[in-house]
Structure formats: structure tokens, C-alpha cells
Chain A
Amino acid sequence: MRVDEIKNGIVIDHIKVGKAMKIYDMLELDGSDCTVAILKNVPSKKMGKKDIIKIDGNFNVDYDMLGFLSPCITVDIIKNGVLSEKKHMELPDTLANILKCKNPRCITSIEHGIPHIFKLVDRENGVYRCLYCETSAK
């Protein structure tokens, strides 16, 4: 694969430098059949340096997770070799199974079948609270 030539797929751009592998892991890309290229330390006008992940093929990206990990990320959706859509991430209102509640008094600490859900309560400061016990995520 030539890294700048994707027929149908996505480009996750403006990743904070050094974070590409973390995002690769969080998106569980190792379990996918798609061709994936990770570019690190790419010069960027906006960020100085950045990481980029290019995925060729059909891959369902968890935008909530990307928005939570780094709201400055952009995602280019490539169809038939051209840019069909550019998505800007933002902090999602709800996080499902992305963070785990660390409050030992929370019901999620003893019942493992419950999804860990966090709600955005303060967008400006990016504060999330556990749906169940309302403890803030650090």
C-alpha cells in the first residue's frame, strides 16, 4: 500500500504526536483485516508534529472514543479515491465502556455485567461523571 493512496477507507489525522499506537489499540485495529498504515512524527503546520493512521477498507470507527481521546483529531472519509467527508471530533455526550469507574463504592465495582457509562457534565473542562455513582473521571 502506498500510504497516501486509499481507495475506500479513512484517514485519522491530527493525532497528538506519540498517541497513534494508543489509538490503534483502543480502536482494536489489530483485530481487523484492513490494511493499516501508521505514520509518526509527521510535520504539521498546526501542531508542529502529528501522527496519522490510514486505514484502507471497511472499518467502523468508534467516533465517541476518538472524540474522547483527542477532540482535535479529524477523520477523512475516502470513497473511490477522493475525500467524501471530513469529520471533526468533539467530546461525546456519553462514553460507553471507554472509561471504567474507579469508585470502590460504585455498583459497577461488584457487578461486572453492567456497562460503564460516563456522561459529559462540563464540556468546557471535559468533565465526565459516572452515570451510576456520579463520581468524576480523572
Chain B
Amino acid sequence: MQNLINILDLSCEEISELITVADDIIDNPENYYEKCAHKKLATLFYEPSTRTRLSFEAAMLELGGSVLGFSEASSSSVSKGESVGDTVKTVSAYADIIAMRHPKEGAPLVASQRADIPIINAGDGGHNHPTQTLTDLLTIHREKGTFENLTIGLCGDLKFGRTVHSLIAAMSRYSGIKFILISPEELKIPSFVKEDYFGYTPYEETTSLDEALPNLDILYMTRVQKERFFNEEDYLRLKDSYILTPGKLENAKSDLSIMHPLPRVNEISVDIDDDPRAAYFRQAKYGKYIRMALIMKLLNIH
């Protein structure tokens, strides 16, 4: 039985297969309306994440399946102290596949050791969020048509931003990739990420978005999250470090793709939303399609 806990659980070939299926779903959605008929997805969300949960539920519903689950720990047996293992063992009796979100790192891995059905990690604390990375990969594929020979700018919170770390992990497996890491000193990428993934992939670090922009094929913006900071002052100072405005974009390539895992705070000006280079709302839609492909793969449905 298969699970998706870490994006690196998937080989490049498997990612390519998922993307092929997602492309076909986008082109021929009607062929998929019944694929998961009578199958149930359990969304076990130990912390709220409406966006991710809705994306999973929309994916399952669009495949003709149904959904059940809980959206925060207080409404579930967790509040009575049941272990993750016992919960998923029980849910295995009711559902066919589980998407789990948990504030503690490694909880979905623990779940996968006990469950009788596939587990999808829908985010475990600041650790992994592989379906966000799959969403990012499908977006890059749709926008650029390739995973090779791209200069990718990552901007904002590169220290705590797990989506950034996973994207680096996934993209550093392709050839001709170069990363430009744009962040204030306080939010630079941690050394363990560099050690793990930059062995063969070139990268530059800079504090200037303006200088980096003209060279980029992809600009991946992230938000600076308040909950990662111990004091309000640091947060307020850093949250406005990098804001993308129409003026800044003047020097960017005409075929730049601007991505963002959403929700944004203020790091991308709403004036950019109608620019054809703004890919972030398309990205949200791709999130549903790649989750459809993933659910089918893990349920062995073709």
C-alpha cells in the first residue's frame, strides 16, 4: 500500500505520471466523474486549514467519491486523548483513503504505520506539505511546459517556509535548475536545506528582489507568518520586507510566472492579479487536479 508523506516518496517518473493524469483530467474532466464512485476520503484535520481541506474535498467529489472527517482537533476524539494510531486504525474501517493535517511533525508518518488504507500528508506542522509541492509542480508544468533549465526565485520567508524547502527538494532533481534565494537576513534559508539539496544545483542568495527579478523564469512568493515569530516587532518589521508591485515587475521577463501558495497577506499587490504573469489563482485550481490524480494513484484506480 502506498502513502504520500514526503514529496521525495515520489520518484520523478511517478511525478511525471501524476502530471500526465492531471493534464488529462483538465482536458477531459467528464472521463473522471465516476472514477471514485462509492469511495470515501476521510479528511482528518487536527488543525484548521480550510483551503487545503476544501481542495481535497473538491478533488474527491469531482471524482464521484464522498468525504467525511473533522476540521479541527476539538471536534474529534483527539480531544479525548486518543492516539493518532488508534484514530486512523478506526477510520480505516470507514473510509478508503485519508488526508491528514496535524500540527505535530511526523504525525502522518505515525498514522501510515498503523492505518490499513493510504495516508496523504496534508501538512504536518512546519515539516512537510507534499500536496502543496505537487500543486507547485503542476503549475510549473502548465506554465512553463518543462522542469528543466529554469531560474527560480524564492522570495520572502525562506527560513520557516516549508513549501519553499519542499519545492527546492523536488526541483533540484531536474537538470538546468538554478535557484535565487531572496530574503532578509533574518529569514535566510537554513543550512540543513542547503546541505541536503544544493550539492549539484547552483544557487545565489540576495536581499534584493529588484536585482533578482529580471533574471527569473519563476518567482515564488511566500508570506511571512505571524505564528513563527516570538515577538510582534520582528514580525511587523519583516512582513513588509518584500512586496511585489506593478512597478517592480517592469524589469521582469514577459513570460515570468508569479506563484504563491496562498493565502497572501500583502506580499503581492492586488494590482498584479490581472497581469497574465500572475499564476497564483491558476495554481490554486491546479491543486485540485493534482490531488485528483494523487487520490486515484493511491487507490490504484486508472
Contact = CB atoms under 8 A, between A and B. Distances in A.
A107 B104 contact: yes
Given A111-B110, A114-B110, A134-B127, A103 B105 contact: yes
A35 interface: no
B102 interface: yes
B126 A107 contact: no
Interface in B118-177: 124-127
Interface string B76-111: 000000011100000000000000001111110110
Contacts of A130: 106
B192 interface: yes
B104 A110 contact: yes
Nearest to A133: B105
Contact of B127 (A108, A109, A113, A133): A133
Interface residues of B, number: 16
A56 B109 CA distance: 42
Given A105-B126, A133-B127, A111 B105 contact: no
A33 B91 CA distance: 46
Nearest to B109: A132
Given A105-B126, A113-B83, A113-B85, A132 B192 contact: no
Nearest to B111: A107
Contacts of B126: 105
A107 B105 contact: yes
A136 interface: yes
Contact of B102 (A107, A113, A135): A107
Contacts of B106: 106-108, 130-133
B54 to A, nearest CB: 25
Contacts of B102: 107
Contact of B104 (A105, A134, A135, A136): A105
Find the residue from B84, B106, B125 having the highest chain A CB count within 10 A: B106
Nearest to A103: B105
Nearest to A111: B83
Interface of A: 103, 105-111, 113-114, 130-136
Give 3 nearest A-B pairs by CB, closest first. Answer: A132-B106, A133-B105, A107-B104
7 contacts: A107-B102, A107-B104, A107-B105, A107-B106, A131-B106, A133-B105, A134-B105
